Amino acid sequence: MSTSAATARAERPRLLERITASSSWTVYALLIVVFVGILVMNPSFGEPMSLMAFVKKAAPLIILAIGQYFVIVSGEFDLSVGSLVGAQVVIAARLMDGEDSMTWPVMGIMLLFGLAVGLVNGLVTTLLKVPSFITTLGMMLVLYGAIRLWTGGAPTGALTEGFRQWGRGGLFGSPGEFQVPYALLIVVVLGVLAALLMRRPYGRTLMATGNNDVAAAFSGAPVWWVRTRAFLLSGLMATVAAVLIGGYAGVTAQVGQGLEFVAITAVVLGGVVLGGGRGSVVAAMAGALTLEALFTLFNQLSLPSTIRPAVQGVIIIAAVAYAAVPRRPRRRATAEPPSSAEPSSPVDPPSRPKEPAAT
Amino acid sequence: MTTTSTSRPSTPVVEPILRLRGIGKEFFGNSVLRGIDLDVRPGEVHALVGENGAGKSTLMKIIAGVHRPDAGTMTLDDAPATFTSPLAAQVVGVSTVFQEFNLLPERTVAENVYLGREPRRFGLVDAARMDRDTSELLTELGLVGISPWMRVGSLSVAEQQIVEIVKAVSYDARIISMDEPTAALADQEVELLYELVRRLKERGVAILYVSHRLKEIFDLCDTITVLKDGNQVITTATADITPDQLVRTMVGREFSGYFPEKDPTTVPGEVRLALQGVGNTQVDDVTLEVRSGEIVALAGLQGSGRTEIAHGIFGIAPFSRGRVLIDGTEHTLTSARQAVRAGLALVTEDRKAEGLALGQSILANARLVLDSVTPRTSGSRARRIPGILSSLDLVARSAETEVQYLSGGNQQKVVLAKWLVTDPDVIVLDEPTRGIDVGAKRAVYDLMRELTADGVAVLLISSELPEVVAMADRILVMRDGRLAGELPAGSDEETVMSLATGAGEESAEHVAVDLSVLAEHPEALAALPGASDAAHRPGGQPADRPVQQEER
Amino acid sequence: MRRSRALLAGAATAALMFTAACTTDTPTETAPEGTETTAEETAEAEGSDDSGANSDWFVQADFDRELAQRDIAPEGPADQPWLQAIEPEFVDTSEFASEGGDKVLCFSNASVSNPWRVTGWITMQQQVEVLEAEGVIGEFRVSDAADDDNKQISDIQAFVEAGDCDAIIVSPSTTATLTPAVEAACESGKPVIVFDRGVNTDCMVTFIHPIGGYAYGADGAEFLTENLDEGSTVLALRILPGVDVLENRWAAADKIFSESGLEVVGQEFTGGDAAQIKDIVTQYLQRGPVDGIWMDAGDGSVAAVEAFEDAGQPYPVFMGEDEMSFLRKWQDTEMTAIGAVYSNFQWRTPILAAQMIWNGEEVPSEWVLPQDPIEADELDAYLEENADMPSLHYAKFGGEDLPGYPEAWTDR
Amino acid sequence: MSTAVTTAPPAAGAPPSSVRRRRRLGSTGIVYLALVGILLISVVLVGLRGGNFFSQSTVAYMLTQTSLLGFVAIGQTFVILCRSLDLSVGYVVALCSIVGATTMAGDPNRVWLGVVAALAVAAGVGLVNGLVISRLRVNPFIATLGVGLIIKGYLDTQFKGPAGSVPASFQGFGYTRIGPVPVSTIVMVAVAVLGVVLLTRTRSGYHMFAVGGNVDVARLSGIRTGRSIVLAHVLCSLCAGVAGLLIAARFSTGNALVYSYGLDLDSIAAVVLGGTLLLGGRGSVAGTVGGVAILAVLDTTFNVLDINPFFKDVLRGAIIIAAVALYARRQIDPASSRARFLPGRRAAPSAPTGTSGPATGGASA
């Protein structure tokens, strides 16, 4: 036991090393490939107007991916976000009913509703010990039914312009010309906040909880509340996404349907591990962006719409499989400390990551 | 230090079943085993000892077929043998019982024993025969407390260990390797294991026994091989070596000085932690005090309620009766969080399950308590972590290394660091030196002295009597969920033992015999002596129930 | 005894697993190849081979008939389009005539999963209330299949078996799949009324529907052809593949476009999702001008219009539906547009048909309701009439004379 | 079950196995208890409205509802036991309905050809799912979602609507009834029995439990874990294939849009309702059938009571959560392992008085 002090204090690995060492680098590579593909197919996509239009479309999914990331990294699932987005848009339309003065109060109500749904999801999962897959599946059914029960089956009312500007409008310039979309600002702000949050004590506790909730509990983390907060964040993000989607495209009966699977796919594409404890929020956002870019690429390739799901399926499987394959040697390399550093304590490389370093 | 095979085994010459010659193993150019020669003979218990990282596990894994050697040869029955997988080894009669149980808690004993080779009849699994065969095997090995149809998850740790061994035997194993089989066992369970090992020995099974506990090695083993830094230091008959010599061979340093002396300037101060008549479903009427600068040991058999006291204090399984006072103020702690806020720290018994997020970095783990409990100030307080880590002599590539890649000792240091950084007033250490190497143990002991010098109150829960006796200012002994008594510093192990076991008149002789061995090798006491069943079982329960039902 | 049974079961399992083992090596493509040819055979067997990309769904005769029906003046009361019929062939229903009121009317609904169906469903319930008040209907029993054909089959079976339905109304979820169930219902001797989508049988007393998908698609396609110059570009937005009524709409439009000088730059499936519609239109606009939009259903049409606004492009010639949100947008933007109509008032007709059948009055065996698109000159009138209606209401819902009007539709 | 019961050396023979059987029923028992409870409530509610829940038509309706989801859920049980998941079942059902119907093409002589073709395709999809998961190490959630999307793409491109037709003889599979019991339900029960035999009486079944319980343990015991996962997925898809054939028989044609019925999530809900752990290693086909029956009773009751379709969704979601919460509550109870300690403690002469209750958990992980 000789060398130590210096090694323990060793500085963080360099950025490049960190990117390639994590499993999420595939998503960045894929993102670049897809963007290059789009630009080759349609150079005008690079024009500011086109890019901003893309951002407006992609923003809600990116935000949903942030919310889903929190839940997944804590070791859970949130299948209710699609229904929640739909419910929120319908609530907004029905309560505002085109009254401009109602915009802000209703957005407040939406916020509370989103948090309430997250709270219920979280508490049922953590306190009643229902697997989150089932909790949120049930919540999905409840929201789907309740919102239609309330509106008699189809959305009623109308969204106000003040509400719609968030997803549709932007700063500088007038509609129909180049604008910096609010959606872009919101995504950037939320993305930065999320990345910061993951570096904050809460983020680290969340990650540790996803990795080993017993250890987190023994360290004084209120595990139920840590996870519930993840669901609250997911509900919050779904609300923001609902504001953006509602703003972008208005109310339809179908809004939000199936978004939960797209969001989970996006997060997994970003290298976040289902089951918790691994992955970065920025990569999850990149996953969402990649997925949206992929949809755009399909469009630019004039791929028949019917075959797109098939191509999407192949790409997702391939990307996730590819991210899974080269990990093993890479991990081993980091697992094995260089012999010079610590002659006194050669660590047996774990035969399987679960039970390392016995003796 | 690289001399090998200085003496031949004193046991009658029996041809070895398994012969290892010049075995070497590298991982990514890092040599972890060099030139190991090993003969494993039927009916012989062969101990494999050495510090953590000496290469015992790697050698075992080579024999088990987990790893393949890079150099040297293995012969089984004089024929060259290469095991491509644990199963391949098992099929030819080489079984390994790892520390992590390879059992399915949701399945029955029989289903676990015959997993992967269930007997069939007309293509369907013959469950009746499976139960019957398992039952026979259990009876044969004298294990009547376990039935084939029991769900493994409902068994105690010891019983699960036994199921593992039964499984090995069911393969008609001729060689069984055991990796620290007693690490998680209570003492009367250890006795059961001893019995099992002896029976296996009688059946002519060769046993390869890895252990840190010298007592076991001298009790059980015929031959000892010592590894150090991947080299074979010595292979000798047990009779030809004393525990003192053995320890010296292992660590290359004298055994004295193992425990740091108490700093005479450290004197107990104010009462920091006081329990007054606390109890819940596991413990009852426990009253104790720990003062600042004092180490109070909580001794006792496993399952006597020590860990439950720790969990009660820490609010994990709160007390339902009595009062808990911290610095004189009554606290009702119902969560770990409140306990931390009140200035408590708990180093748990099970590092991997309760102490660490294995997939997270050293730094993240070391920050975990700060992040969880005092998020607002954790940023500034965490700046001390690198200093604490290096003062603990943590060996790692960088603070970003995931803790799953650290050795047991280094993992324990991370656990300690995460509590030290909270500046606790009271620290509860539950088996802090279990399963870690001598060097790391020493670091823990030094740390305890430093903490008391700084005025921290330390409650030490330990099964290792020398540790208890050498480190504690006062020794509290628990038995069956209650305090059995208090002993002053410097009490001898014998007194502690008899309090812990409640040894009555009729069993005094047995204990005395056991302890006479200890008296010869006090420094070798790495484990409590195995107490016989009758010794501490009040009410004279039937003796055909060797598996004492202890909570793990 | 136990053992032998277990053995038998085991043998069966083994057989099952053998099947699995044998077939797993088969490349997945082989079977689908086989099925593909049979699918074409089926299509050919139905005699529906014709030019155009959409030969699966294009039947020239149906196309011709529906287009012609648009110009035929319907018979029936002029102010009650839901009672009008085009070229009716009346059938005698005296066998179902029965005295007394308080009938049990059973309705197997495919679903209320889209605004069009919701609007119609409200209208239907209002019509039922009228007849309940009159004492004609005693119980209105409804099973909603939530778009699940299998459940709807069970629902219909349950009605048949309950035996106390005095008439069974079916709004099929999918044409082909419900045929056996409807046939079974017919055999029970109860009068069966089918409306909206059809079934492949004519056993029911009456099949009520507007002119149809070809006419709907053609209304829009012809409008675009008339209002756009040759060489202009048209984007077709569709909801789902494989739904017959929707496929017919596109088949007709495709046929008309292929014979015009218009260039169809794309046909995209949107799922009716506004966000997707807007995104797709935006992307097409990035690549080049789009002069016309054709939609097989109005859901999300406003989003398509907004895509032009947000891209700073001139409004296209637009085909929407009689959905209020679109009509309002149309008025606001004053673009060149048409609101195609798939007559929502058809939801009233089956109830009234049931009453006629119980009375022994003759009804058309195929009750073809009129289906007139809303054109620019009618726009203001419809908007005014439905001023209080929610945005996903359908202008031609035909419930203005019902007692619940307008609250039942405005306060959903 | 404390060891106090077993202090007497157990004889190898009948007693242990009977005890075991009783214990096994324990986890499935609560499912059927819940089923009976819901059934009772339904009977009362329907009775209050003057109906008879056990009328032939209602029972037939209920059983018919059971079969389709039953097939899919039985299949889903295998994969969930293996700690996997299959989100592609809905697409497989759709695909197989079309493959079956188009192969039969209305010709009575081609019925068996159609059945074999559909099942072959199903097995092929299962094989792909299994291999992608076990060989390419793709998370099952993503793998089966992806494979589902691929099938969807194929279906949407190739089949614009219903395709093929089924001869009348095969329609019997969907319509024939013996008393109130549809043939499809009988077949479903037969498949369930096969499933039970497979899981409790064959090595493959034992190995599935092992793979789901702990894949490392299974591997160390010489179980080819990949093969178990592949087999589970093949069986799951085969069951979905049978469901597809049932669809074809009921519709007398194949329909691609069946994939939108939500069979994937419904089947997972049914399996979990049936007491199978979502994380694998424990569960039973019998429980799954109970779970499916619970959902069918609910559907039937809602239908008979003429409950608003949207309210049905609300109730369904709430009941699924409530039921699983109920099971979870029962599983938290640590008595099974802790109670072993207490009798010994109580036997101690000076045992504290307040220790009779089961230990509060928490300490053990």
Whether C52 shows a pLDDT value over 80: the answer reads no
Q: What CATH number is associated with residue B31?
A: 3.40.50.300
> For residue B143, what pLDDT band results from cuts at 50, 70 and 90?
confident
Q: How far is the C-alpha of B297 from the C-alpha of B473, rounded, in Å?
A: 8
Residue type, A97: D
**Any CB–CB contact under 8 A between D275 and chain A?**
no
* Pick from B136, B145, B138: nearest CA to B541: B145
Lowest mean pLDDT among B24-28, B404-408, C24-28, C84-88: C24-28
**Mean pLDDT, rounded, for C397-401:** 88
The closest CB to that of D10, out of B118, B125, B135, belongs to B135
Examine residue B493 and state whether it is found in any structural domain, yes or no. Answer: yes
Give the model confidence (pLDDT) of A247-271 as tens digits. 998 888 788 888 999 999 999 888 8
- pLDDT band with cut points at 50, 70 and 90 for residue C224: very high
Predicted pLDDT of residue B268: 83
pLDDT above 90 for C364: yes
| pLDDT at res. B13 | 63
Residue B508 predicted with pLDDT over 80: no
Portion of chain C with pLDDT greater than 90, in percent: 39
Distance CA B165, CA C165 (A): 70
B73: β partners: B21
At B11, which amino acid appears? T
Pairing of strands B457-461, B175-179: unpaired
pLDDT of residue B198: 87
Chains that touch D (3 or more CB pairs under 8 A): A, B, C
Residue spans of the domains in chain D: they are: 67-291
Q: Say if residue B277 is in the same domain as residue B336.
A: yes
CA C74 from centre of chain:
21
Higher pLDDT among residues A253 and A164, named by residue:
A164
Distance from CA of A297 to the nearest CA of D (A): 16
Q: What percent of chain A has pLDDT over 90?
A: 42
pLDDT tens digits, one per residue of C229-288: 888 999 999 988 878 888 889 999 999 999 888 999 988 888 888 888 998 998 898 888
Shortest CA distance from B167: residue in chain D: D221
How much is the average pLDDT of A142-163?
86
Q: What is the mean pLDDT of residues A77-104?
A: 91
SS3 at position B338: helix
Pick the CATH number of C67-211+344-369 from 3.40.50.10260, 3.50.50.60, 3.40.50.2300, 3.30.360.10: 3.40.50.2300
For residue B287, pLDDT beyond 80: yes
Query: In the prediction, which pLDDT does A215 show?
Result: 92
The secondary structure element, H or E, covering residue B206 is strand B206-210
pLDDT band with cut points at 50, 70 and 90 for residue B544: very low
Question: Residue with structure tokens 């330390």?
Answer: B458
Find, among C298, C329, C315, the residue nearest to C396 by Cα.
Answer: C298
Whether residues D222 and B128 touch (CB distance < 8 A) is answered with: no
Strand-pair partners of B341: none
pLDDT at residue B492, rounded to an integer: 75
**pLDDT higher than 60, residue B178:** yes
Rounded Cα–Cα distance for residues A234 and A236 (Å): 5
Note whether A257 contacts C117, CB cutoff 8 Å. Answer: no
Residue B60 structural domain: 1-84+208-257
Phi first, then psi, for residue B253 (nearest 5°) are: -150, 160
Partner residue opposite A317 with nearest CB, options D143, D315, D328? D143
Instruction: CATH 3.40.50.2300 in chain C: give the residue spans.
Output: 67-211+344-369, 213-340
Q: B102–D221: do the CB atoms touch at under 8 Å? A: yes
CB-based contacts of C2-10 (< 8 A; 24+ apart in sequence): C6/B124, C6/D197, C6/D201, C7/B122, C7/B124, C9/D193, C9/D194, C9/D197, C10/B122, C10/B123, C10/B124, C10/D197, C10/D201, C10/D202
pLDDT, residue B532, reads: 33
* pLDDT tens-place string over residues C309-331: 888 889 999 999 998 889 999 99
- pLDDT value at position A88? 94
Q: Do C35 and D127 touch (CB under 8 A)?
A: no
Confidence of residue B529 (pLDDT cuts 50, 70, 90): very low
Q: pLDDT at position B184, please?
A: 63
| Model pLDDT, residue B127 | 87
CA distance A125 to D328: 10
Residue B153 has pLDDT above 50, yes or no: yes
pLDDT at residue D297, as a whole number: 92
Q: Does A229 touch chain C (CB under 8 A)?
A: no
- Are residues B123 and C6, on separate chains, in Cβ contact within 8 Å? no
- d(CA B426, CA B326) in angstroms, rounded, equals 9
Helix (H, G, I), strand (E, B) or coil at C109: strand
What tokens appear for D311 in the block?
A: 């309210």
Q: Quick one: average pLDDT of A279-300?
A: 90
What pLDDT was estimated at residue B518?
A: 36
- Are β-strands B79-80 and B426-430 bridged in parallel, bridged antiparallel, or unpaired? unpaired
* Span D92-151, pLDDT tens digits: 999 999 999 999 988 888 999 999 999 999 999 999 999 999 998 898 999 999 999 999
Give the position of tokens 């990116």: A62
Q: What is the per-residue DSSP string for A157-193?
A: S---HHHHHHHH-EESS-TTS--EEHHHHHHHHHHHH
Question: pLDDT per residue over D198-220, tens digit each?
Answer: 999 999 999 999 999 988 888 88
| pLDDT tens profile D159-201 | 877 888 889 889 888 888 888 889 999 999 999 999 999 999 9
Q: Is the pLDDT of residue B274 over 90?
A: yes
Residue B97 lies in a domain: no
Query: What integer pLDDT is reported at residue C10 of this predicted model?
Result: 42
State residue A16's pLDDT score: 56
**Percent of chain B with pLDDT strictly greater than 70:** 84
Secondary structure (3-state) at B163: helix
Task: Give the domain C213-340 fold.
Answer: Rossmann fold (3.40.50)
Q: Cβ of B66 under 8 Å from any chain A Cβ?
A: yes
pLDDT tens profile C92-130: 888 888 888 889 999 999 988 888 998 999 999 999 999
> pLDDT tier at A14 (50, 70, 90 boundaries)?
low
Instruction: Answer whether residue D6 shows pLDDT above 50.
Output: no
Least confident of B86-90, B153-157, C51-55: C51-55
Q: Is the link from the previous residue into C406 a cis peptide, with omega within 30 of 0?
A: yes
* Selection from C43, C185, C45 nearest residue C106 by Cα: C185
Contacts of D300 (CB under 8 A, 6+ apart): D42, D53, D58, D61, D62, D65
Terminal CA-to-CA distance of chain D, rounded, Å?
Answer: 20
Which band of pLDDT confidence, cut at 50, 70 and 90, is reported for residue D84? very high
Confidence class for position D73, pLDDT limits 50, 70, 90: very high
CB C352 within 8 A of CB C195: no
Strands B321-326 and B30-40: unpaired
Q: How far is CA B371 from CA A186, A220, D2, in A?
A: 28, 9, 41
Phi, psi of B9 (to 5 degrees): -65, 145
- Taking CB atoms and an 8 Å limit, are A124 and D325 in contact across chains? yes
- pLDDT tens profile B210-223: 876 777 788 889 99
Give the model confidence (pLDDT) of B29-72 as tens digits.
667 788 899 998 898 999 988 765 678 878 888 888 888 888 88
Residue B193: inside a domain: no
Most confident of B189-193, B455-459, C197-201: B455-459
* Strand pairing category for B271-279 and B286-291: antiparallel
Is the pLDDT score of A333 beyond 80?
no
Q: Do B118 and D203 touch (CB under 8 A)?
A: yes
Q: Chain D residue with minimal CA distance to B145?
A: D7
> Which residues have CB under 8 Å from A17's CB, separation 6+?
none
Q: How far away is chain A from the Cα of D162, in angstroms, using its nearest Cα?
A: 16
Query: In this model, does residue B25 exceed pLDDT 50?
Result: yes
What mean pLDDT do residues D64-81 have?
94
Residue showing tokens 């006795």: B191
- Counting residues of chain D whose pLDDT is more than 90, the rounded percentage is 47
**Sheet hosting strand C206-210, strand order edge to edge:** C137-144, C103-109, C167-171, C192-195, C206-210, C366-369
What is the dotted CATH code of the domain comprising A20-326?
1.10.3470
Contact A8 B399 (CB under 8 A): yes
Ramachandran area for residue D214 (φ above 0: left; ψ -120 to 50: alpha; else beta): beta
- The per-residue pLDDT for A135 is 93
Backbone torsions φ then ψ of A275, nearest 5 degrees? 115, -20
Distance in Å, alpha carbon of D118 to nearest chain A alpha carbon? 20
Asked if C242's CB is within 8 angstroms of D256's CB, the reply is yes
Other C-beta atoms closer than 10 Å to the C-beta of C9 total: 18
Residue D181 in contact with residue D63, Cβ under 8 Å? yes
Q: Inform me whether the pLDDT recorded for A13 exceeds 80.
A: no
Mean pLDDT of B253-274: 74
CA distance C323 to C300: 10
Q: State the DSSP string of A192-209.
A: HHHHHHHHSHHHHHHHHH
Domains held by chain B: number: 2
C100 φ/ψ sector (left φ>0, alpha ψ -120 to 50, else beta): left
Residue B538, pLDDT score: 36
Confidence of residue B199 (pLDDT cuts 50, 70, 90): confident
* Of the partner residues B55, B61, B316, the one whose CB lies closest to the CB of residue A218: B316
